[in-house]
Structure 1
Amino acid sequence: MHRFDNQTVLVTGGTGGQGSSHVRAFHAEGANVVIGGIDAERGDALVDELGDRARFAHLDVTDESSWSAAVTTAERAFGGLSVLVNNAGVQNPPALIEHTDQATWSRILDVNLTGAFLGIKAAVPALRRSTEGAVVNIASTMGLGGTAHYAPYVASKWALRGLTQTAALELGRDRIRVNTIHPGVIATPFIHEPAAGAGAAIADFYSPEPFAVPRLGEPADVTRLLLFLASPEASFITGSEYVIDGGLQLGPALQAEAA
């Protein structure tokens, strides 16, 4: 018996570094998985790897009709939808606010915030038909404080917190729980490759060495928390935020003086 037997999970950004980790783990725990994304080649490869109980749905999270099609894929293929993971996200190239163009601002908010809004809107009817439903929004520690040069990304993740809490209030009586995970710096291409238009990756100017847990996070660190929040084990948790950052938000750790 697995935690997600007879349940169907839709993961957006499901072919990326964190997304593919989430998809594989849900599948290993017995779930039917719908891999939402725009990279059909990688999506099809992941479906081939997993075999039964996996489908790829071409999903542009900024497009409402694309969301409707993805939810329909879940219901037609597997008979329902139990869990939505709003994992898709994009990063802006670092720039001061005065040098950030409106097109960049709009693009980041469209994917990171509007995408989650449209996802909840599209998935709610199907989630209501489940015995219990869960939505988990993947935000960021940048949604907990200001970060210079990343105004669009920071704003999108701050707003995602408010969307999560509002959805939790609206959907709790429908037995649908909505929570947020705030990862810190996780070792994925998102961190190791420059954002479009950027000259350097985040990993090029970040070192975890001063912090309480002196390493980058791994996708599996986030996945383990996600599985808990999406499962019946978290049936009394909604509207909550979970930080997983190795102590980054605590600030630098004191170093012991040499004897």
Structure 2
Amino acid sequence: MFDLTGKVAIITGGSSGIGAAAARTFHQLGASVTIGDIQAEAGEALAAELGDRVRFSRLDVTKQDDWERTIDETEAAFGPVNVLVNNAGHSGHWKPASELTLEEFRKVCAINQEGVFLGMKLVLPSMIRAGGGSIVNNSSGYGLVGAANNLDYCASKFAVTGMTKAAAIEFAPSKIRVNSIHAGVVLTPMVRDTMASLGADGDVFIARMPLNRGADPSEIASVMAFLASEAASFMTGAAVPVDGGLTAQ
């Protein structure tokens, strides 16, 4: 597939779903990986399973101290960071805007938007020490198109799309590429729980995909690996749909 030998990566939300698939894929392709997540038991188990070149760090992406500790620990274990996958996220509350509270809105934006900001800002010195790198931000198909009853999630993911483009321009002189991924329905535990909570309405998620199925997390992880690799060396500021055709409509 792609060679990530010698890369040092931090993957947030790496204990399950897309993040766990990315950790497996990156490790398989030769990278050293820090799994960052608040789900410590699952993250530690995955790190133990993968073994050499993988470690776990408890990381709440909304907390600057957690970010600083995780980056420092990664550098101490593997060397300067040259790949960051901002994957941790909140699925939103899926309710009309009139029923959405300010606290709910802020919680989603804190994780999905502010967490990405902190990651990009705080990893920058390490990537400069590494001589460059690649940041992959997991936005969403709903960071390119809107959806009813999804204002909090769409707001946060559109912000990720814009921040990616701004950072790509700003970080380019430091040889740091920044791209975003825009998935459709990915059959992760978080998405399955959201669909179950919506009952029959959850079928609408799949019906919106022209490919008429949800993605396996590994299908998103493989595109993350591509963007992290030198195969994508001339890509920066791109918003890459991996969405089963959602945004082609």
TM-score range, shorter chain: over 0.9
For 1:46-125, what aligned pairs fall within 5 Å after superposition?
A: 46-125=46-125
Residue of structure 2 equivalent to 1:42: 42
SS of 1:103's equivalent? helix
Task: Name the larger-Rg structure.
Answer: 1
Deviations 1:76-124 (A, max 9, x none): 0111211000000001221111110011000000000000000011100
Contact 1:192 1:201 in 2 (8 A): no
Q: Which has the higher contact order (CA 8 A, sep 6+)?
A: 2
Size of the aligned set, in residue pairs, is: 249
Could you tell me which of 224, 235, 238 is aligned with 1:240?
238
> What is the percentage of aligned positions where both structures have the same residue?
38
Residue of structure 1 equivalent to 2:126: 126
Distance 1:214 1:227 in 2: 25
Structure 1 residue 205, shift from structure 2 partner: 3.0
Contact 2:137 2:179 in 1 (8 A): yes
Residue of structure 1 equivalent to 2:171: 171
The one-letter amino acid of 1:154's match is C
Deviations 1:154-196 (A, max 9, x none): 000001111001100110010000000000001111211038x
Structure 1 residue 250, shift from structure 2 partner: 2.9
Structure 1 residue 20, shift from structure 2 partner: 0.2
Structure 1 residue 206, shift from structure 2 partner: 2.5
Residue of structure 2 equivalent to 1:257: none
SS of 2:130's equivalent? coil
Residue of structure 1 equivalent to 2:185: 185
Contact 1:194 1:202 in 2 (8 A): no
Structure 1 residue 243, shift from structure 2 partner: 0.3
Matched, 1:153 2:153: yes
- Structure 2 gaps, min length 5: none
Deviations 1:1-59 (A, max 9, x none): x7111211100000121100000000001110000000111111011101110110110
Distance 2:214 2:145 in 1: 19
Distance 1:207 1:54 in 2: 34
Contact 1:87 1:137 in 2 (8 A): yes
Residue of structure 2 equivalent to 1:231: 229
The one-letter amino acid of 1:15's match is S
1:133–1:202 CA distance, 2 compared to 1 (3 A): farther
Contact 2:209 2:243 in 1 (8 A): no
Residue of structure 2 equivalent to 1:12: 12
Distance 1:231 1:201 in 2: 39
Looking at secondary structure, tell me which structure has more helix per residue.
2
Give TM-score scaled by structure 1 length: 0.91
Structure 1 residue 249, shift from structure 2 partner: 2.2
Contact 1:82 1:130 in 2 (8 A): yes
Contact 2:91 2:194 in 1 (8 A): no
1:126–1:210 CA distance, 2 compared to 1 (3 A): closer
1:138–1:207 CA distance, 2 compared to 1 (3 A): closer
- Structure 1 gaps, min length 5: 252-259
Distance 1:202 1:53 in 2: 43
